């Protein structure tokens, strides 16, 4: 095997290893729907919640989420609520990356 082929394969292998192990670093947060299966709790100053039997860390700004309520005219109005008011059984839409939630909405 000549030097050019060896160099090519070394560079190819290095590139594959780089992209394989660095892929999680470039992951984007996605939107999900689910149901709260365990009310929020605090461990070491981090807020946690269980949605569809999966545990997530809440990384919400101001430790609040938005609750949107539809009135009789069909209009939606939203307001901020503390994390502690989130109840088991509520349907949520949330933006998460791995097991970290960055945005959380409840619609009623």
More confident residue, 10 or 39: 39
- With a CB cutoff of 8 Å and minimum separation 6, the contacts of 43 are none
pTM of full prediction above 0.75: no
pLDDT in tens, 46-88: 899 999 999 999 988 888 888 888 778 878 888 888 888 899 9
Instruction: Show the domains of the chain with their CATH numbers.
Output: 28-107 (2.40.50)
CB 69 within 8 A of CB 27: no
pLDDT of residue 27: 63
Residues 28-45: b if buried by 16+ CB within 10 A, e if exposed: eeeeeebebeebbeeeee
pLDDT in tens, 19-36: 666 655 566 788 999 999
């Amino acid at each position: 095997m000549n030097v050019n082929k060896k160099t090519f394969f070394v560079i190819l292998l290095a590139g594959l290893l780089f992209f394989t192990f660095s892929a999680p670093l470039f992951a984007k947060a996605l939107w999900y729907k689910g149901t709260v299966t365990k009310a929020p709790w605090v461990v070491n100053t981090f807020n946690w919640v269980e949605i569809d039997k999966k545990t997530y860390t809440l990384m919400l700004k101001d430790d609040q989420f938005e609750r949107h309520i539809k009135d009789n005219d069909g209009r939606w109005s939203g307001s901020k609520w503390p994390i502690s008011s989130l109840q088991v059984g509520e349907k949520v839409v949330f933006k998460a990356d791995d097991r970290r939630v960055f945005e959380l909405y409840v619609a009623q």
